[in-house]
Amino acid sequence: MIKKYRREILFIILILIGFLIHSYIIISISLFFLLYIVILSNILKIKDDYLEYKIKISPEIIIEGENLKISYFFKFNYNFPPLCEVIPDLPIYFVPLDKKNIIFEVKKGINYEHTYIVRAKKFGKYKIGNFKIKTIDPLGLIQKEKYINLDIEVNVFPKIIRIEKSIIKLKEPSFGLKVKEKIFEDFTSINGFTEYSGNEELKRIDWKISAHLGKLMVKEYPPTAITSITMLVDPFASKNPRNQEIFIEHISTLLSSFSYYFELNKFNYGLWIIGRNKIKEDNGKSHLLKIFSEITNINQEEEIDFNEFLQNNKKEMKDLNNILLLKQKLSPDELLNLIKIKSYNTNYTIFLLPDYGFLFPWEKPHPYILSETEEIEYLRNIKNNLKKYGISIIILRGNESIKNFIFV
């Protein structure tokens, strides 16, 4: 309380001293500043009807490591005070790339727009858009603040590694044939045209339509069969917070990358995080964003018994066509239970991260070699035999690059 009114107390003390020493100059000056502070403290208060504001955040889809643009729009319904300062209240993982605060002169009825660029350094769900507005008097003696709490929720999605060709072996039960990446298409008829994205084969470009429209267009063929994939994730890896954080970061990137790849190739894909409700297999932009949002909030603090999960969901597991399983480790007992509930038409691709992570394509190898545990050696010895039963096991060590396992 004393700190809040320290200036007023100071000038009151000076006025008393002035009376004691009979100095009318000290009394006059102190009284002037005391009245100045009291009057302007009321004038500088930002009432709700003084200020109109809104915020626009772009782009709508934000990927970890990319820039985010926050645009502030203001309109003041008064002319005084002459200066105003806007201080964005940003989450810790949003790093400013330009000016930190925004200061401008206030004029009644004028629309102000200020853009603020930040970089999203970590994926997750954040509250953003809150800011503090500060009014300043001409002499700089008085500052009044008003906190604007908007709580705009923003999802920052994990990094995406562009996959050109997946090594996941997919089995399409409609034909009983294995396909490596693309769905079967009926090339005898054209379903329509879509703009060239840079990922389609050049032979699919329709040059006549492209010349007519002034942009590259590719032919779309009707599907004769759609491959369906379920990404199954055990998100718990360790009670050590740092190891758990590393594991979540890496499996989130894998899930996002595969989801994006499946969407580009028009697979039906779903996500089943152990301990949560399953997102059914589908495709399309809204489905992809739904998957991304679920991946963004994937953290798991308590271990869930994997064998118990398999037992409780064995009927639904049998009905799935292709399962992409991501885990930190897989015990012989868990593998045996997976084999027991596996139906003939189900194909398993199992990604294991025993060291909680791997090297991204842009990272260099560490100057050491990781030793093999008995569990890893056991899986390496039997994984070739498991392939004939439709089970592929991929072990990603912490010193191995992901580009050795998926072509990027």
| Residue written as token pair 């066509």 | 321
In this model, does residue 331 exceed pLDDT 80? yes
Query: For the segment 26-80, what is each residue's pLDDT rounded down to a tens digit?
Result: 888 888 888 877 777 776 666 666 778 888 888 877 889 889 888 888 887 776 6
In this model, does residue 324 exceed pLDDT 80? yes
For the residues 178-202, what does the mean pLDDT come to?
A: 60
362 is a domain residue? yes
162 is a domain residue? no
Strands 152-157 and 124-128: antiparallel
Q: State whether 19 and 73 are in the same domain.
A: no
199 is a domain residue? no
pLDDT at position 168, please? 65
In this model, does residue 313 exceed pLDDT 70? yes
Q: State whether 148 and 228 are in the same domain.
A: no
pLDDT at position 257, please? 92
Q: State whether 19 and 135 are in the same domain.
A: no
60 is a domain residue? yes
In a 13 Å sphere around the CA of 13, the CA atoms on its Cβ side amount to 6
For the residues 82-100, what does the mean pLDDT come to?
A: 80
Crossing angle for the helix pair 6-21 and 24-43, nearest 10 degrees?
160
Q: State whether 264 and 340 are in the same domain.
A: yes
CATH number of the CATH domain containing 80: 2.60.40.10
Say if pTM beats, i.e. exceeds, 0.75: no
Determine the structural domain holding residue 349 and report its residue range: 170-182+224-404
116 is a domain residue? yes
Q: State whether 259 and 372 are in the same domain.
A: yes
pLDDT at position 175, please? 40
As to burial, measured by CB atoms within 10 angstroms (0-12 exposed, 13-18 middle, 19+ buried), residue 338 is: buried
pLDDT at position 182, please? 46
Q: State whether 32 and 146 are in the same domain.
A: no
Of all residues in the chain, what percent are helix, strand and coil, respectively (each to 5)?
30, 30, 40
In a 13 Å sphere around the CA of 343, the CA atoms on its Cβ side amount to 14
Q: State whether 13 and 77 are in the same domain.
A: no
201 is a domain residue? no
CATH number of the CATH domain containing 355: 3.40.50
- DSSP one-letter string for 284-307: SHHHHHHHHHHHHT----S---HH
Domain count within the chain: 3
Q: State whether 369 and 400 are in the same domain.
A: yes
Q: State whether 71 and 102 are in the same domain.
A: yes
Query: For the segment 236-289, what is each residue's pLDDT rounded down to a tens digit?
Result: 999 999 999 999 999 999 999 999 988 888 888 999 999 899 999 988 888 999
Q: State whether 90 and 175 are in the same domain.
A: no
Q: State whether 153 and 228 are in the same domain.
A: no
CB atoms within 10 A of CB 373: 11
pLDDT at position 177, please? 43
